[in-house]
Amino acid sequence: MKLGKVEFCHFLQMLALFLCLSGMNQAELTRSRSKPYFQSGRTRTKRSWVWNQFFVLEEYMGTDPLYVGKLHSDVDKGDGSIKYILSGEGASSIFIIDENTGDIHATKRLDREEQAYYTLRAQALDRLTNKPVEPESEFVIKIQDINDNEPKFLDGPYTAGVPEMSPVGTSVVQVTATDADDPTYGNSARVVYSILQGQPYFSVEPKTGVIKTALPNMDREAKDQYLLVIQAKDMVGQNGGLSGTTSVTVTLTDVNDNPPRFPRRSYQYNVPESLPVASVVARIKAADADVGPNAEMEYKIVDGDGLGVFKISVDKDTQEGIITIQKELDFEAKTSYTLRIEAANMHVDPRFLSLGPFSDMTTVKIIVEDVDEPPVFTSRLYSMVVSEAAKVGTIIGTVAAHDPDASNSPVRYSIDRNTDLERYFNIDANSGVITTAKSLDRETNAVHNITVLAMESQNPAQIGRGYVAITILDINDNAPEFAMEYETTVCENAQPGQVIQKISAIDKDDPPNGHQFYFSLTAEAANNHNFTLQDNKDNTATVLTKRNGFRRQEQSVFYLPIFIVDSGSPSLSSTNTLTIRVCDCDADGIAQTCNAEAYILPAGLSTGALIAILACVLTLLVLVLLIVTMRRRKKEPLIFDEERDIRENIVRYDDEGGGEEDTEAFDMAALRNLNIMRDTKTRRDVTPEIQFLSRPTFKSIPDNVIFREFIWERLKEADVDPCAPPYDSLQTYAFEGNGSVAESLSSLDSISSNSDQNYDYLSDWGPRFKRLADMYGTGPDCLYS
């Protein structure tokens, strides 16, 4: 049989594939020096080393090492002179070689997903010389994959959403599973998808993993969430393949497919007529199964007899319609209202208009209930006027109120005294006539705002309030006066006709046409020779000089009476005195000094000189006081001289154990104890702290009078010395005498002690304690009596 070129090429490809998949476990590496050699009938190739790829199955579970292949060299004659060594990845740890035969084995279980291939190097050495007989060659051991990994959803579990009422085939979400097996070998990594849970609502594309809707008109209001279980299986879904699953939670999102509907066709509410304006009358709500923006509604009153009395608004949180009052209700005027209210969706989806109009109507009837209302005044504010000259009891005006209820109860009036604290007005309880109760003064209070109370006779708790503004009309009852306190001066060098002051006037009254004042000098001042007055006809006047030659020595102050008349009817007048001082002025006419006493001072002696002299006198007085004080506080020496340093010392009695030599072995404070506390004058700058220690268990022994007096004198001197430094000092007078509470510190009198202690053992302590033994011993002879 002859093969063409095409058929021959196909034959070679099939042969190569067969060798790779079935016979590579027995591959060998051979080398030939003279002529190349291969075992197992492989194709000859003219090169030194011919390497082949070894294949090893992963996950081998046998107990014996797994045979991988064999290395062989033509130099090896089989006499054991050649040894084979292996190096590279996994050599010795995973792969071992028989150095005699060249057989390669794997000693550990291999996982392709951890490492797909290993690169090693082979070497043939002379066993005696350990030198290579062949060049080193590199080869690869490839791990052959098996289906040992199931598909995994690395991003699961999934959540997704799709609008309700979506058509069939609407894409929801895509899931993806990965398989760690070799995608280039067999079908171990070829995954197909299927749905295990979620049918018949959803489906999944087997190859892509895209989940789609499988049923039309899925309604969120019926069921808003679905749990799907998706499976991914390798080996193209065939039997024996591995699989993995994940969950997908699909939520149906809302669309506006439900129109609003009122649960009832009509509503009725009762409200009292006293309900304040802007109060809530009722809350109504149209039901809408949608949520979010699709359930947002607007309400409006489309018809009825309460269009101007009530209004409706929407609560954004609850989507309720809130009916509130716009005007006050009056049972006596109208007892009920009827409203036609419409509720409509704000966001309508045109796709669902066929489901009906997205609005609804209802009727609301509001019944007004009668309540006992307080009296109502005919006017909210009464304006009245009265002259401030009105006498007590003058009628100002009348207020009127009535009971709006059907009973029309009689009304009684009174004034809220919190608005009329001074009780200027009275009101007749039955008629409502307001009269004056006291004299009025417009200048004190021009307008009085009072509150009038009206209460029902049958129910005094029902009180209505009316407001009255009473304006006080002005009369001319205040005379004019100077607008301010003037400080007028005239220079000594003033010329006749010189203006020295311009004056004006004020009047507390308020005439309708404004003020008009007239100025003139009084009759007794009209003929004075010093000043004159000129009325400027504009409610001001000017004061001028009539002569020159004013001198402070002659007269330093002038008093000018000015007569002012207003234009009231009847007119009022007053006399105001202008005080004018004569002053020394500079060339510009500015006053320098206005004191007449300045001429009495000696020539050349100014006020500054007098102040300097006074300051010097005061300084001298302060220096004298300081010198006297320092002399009185002259300090005395703080340390006693040698002659006055009298103190007692502790008597030393030979060297009996060193007790008397140790001055710190006893309490010195006991030697300073005094039985008598004396009141002495204490120093003002130092508080002496002297503690008097007493031991009440000791018997009291009279003090030596001489030393006791000595210590008290020293203590008194230290306390009352005013020149002593501002710190405490301690002076110790250690007197050991008959009066010492601490008794004797010496052991000389110890033999007379009543102690029961036996000191005979001191005789056994040696010569150094012989004297103590003689003093305290019980022998017949004693050194001291």
- Position 762 pLDDT exceeds 90: no
pLDDT at site 263: 95
Model confidence pLDDT, tens digit, residues 239-283: 878 889 999 999 999 998 889 999 999 999 999 988 999 999 999
Helix (H) or strand (E) holding 718: helix 705-720
Classify the C-alpha dihedral 735-739-741-744 as positive or negative: positive
- Position 27 pLDDT exceeds 50: no
Is this structure's pTM higher than 0.85?
no
- Tell me the CA distances in angstroms from 213 to 15, 156, 207, 613, 676, one per residue in order: 50, 20, 17, 117, 117
Strand-pair category, 481-482 with 518-521 = unpaired
Considering the chain, what percentage of its residues have pLDDT values greater than 90?
38
Return the top range by mean pLDDT from 186-190, 374-378, 568-572, 717-721. 374-378
- DSSP annotation of 166 reads P
pLDDT at site 740: 53
Task: Write the DSSP assignment of 261-316 as a string of letters.
Answer: B-S-SEEEEEEETTPPTT-EEEEE--B-S--GGGG-EEEEEEEETTTTTEEEEE-T
φ and ψ of 416, to 5 deg: -70, 110
- Angle of CA points 476, 478, 481, to nearest 5°: 130
Cα–Cα distance for residue pair 229/208, rounded to 1 Å: 16
Cα–Cα distance for residue pair 637/255, rounded to 1 Å: 111
Q: Which residue has the higher pLDDT, 89 or 56?
A: 89
pLDDT at site 652: 54
Q: Which amino acid is at 66?
A: L
Return the top range by mean pLDDT from 63-77, 225-239, 637-651, 715-729. 225-239
Buried b (16+ CB within 10 A) or exposed e, 19-48: eeeeebeebbbbbbeeebbbeeeeeeeeee
pLDDT range class, residue 779, cuts 50, 70, 90: low
- Position 603 pLDDT exceeds 60: no
φ and ψ of 770, to 5 deg: -65, -40
The verdict on whether omega for the bond into residue 167 sits within 30 degrees of 0, i.e. cis, is no
Q: State mean pLDDT over 60-66.
A: 80
Across the beta sheet with 463-473, the strand order is: 381-387, 463-473, 447-456, 411-415
Task: Write the DSSP assignment of 533-559 as a string of letters.
Answer: EEE-SSSEEEEEES-----TTT-SEEE
Q: Do 735 and 701 contact (CB within 8 A), yes or no?
A: no
- HEC profile of 450-463: EEEEEEECCCCCCE
- Range with the lowest mean pLDDT among 155-159, 253-257, 678-682? 678-682
Q: Is 619 helix (H, G, I), strand (E, B) or coil?
A: helix
pLDDT at site 633: 73
Average pLDDT of the chain to the nearest whole number: 79
Model confidence pLDDT, tens digit, residues 549-591: 889 888 889 999 999 999 888 888 999 999 999 998 888 888 8
Give every CB contact of residue 247 below 8 A, 6+ residues apart in sequence: 156, 157, 158, 227, 228, 229, 230
Q: Is 101 helix (H, G, I), strand (E, B) or coil?
A: coil
φ and ψ of 315, to 5 deg: -85, 115
pLDDT at site 726: 57
pLDDT at site 738: 56
CA 715 to centroid of chain Cα atoms: 66
- HEC profile of 350-383: HHHHHHCCCEEEEEEEEEEECCCCCCEECCCEEE
Model confidence pLDDT, tens digit, residues 333-342: 899 999 999 9
- DSSP annotation of 91 reads B
pLDDT range class, residue 385, cuts 50, 70, 90: very high
pLDDT range class, residue 780, cuts 50, 70, 90: very low
Residue with tokens 């009495």: 600
- Position 650 pLDDT exceeds 80: no
pLDDT at site 777: 66
Strand-pair category, 395-398 with 433-436 = antiparallel
The verdict on whether omega for the bond into residue 570 sits within 30 degrees of 0, i.e. cis, is yes
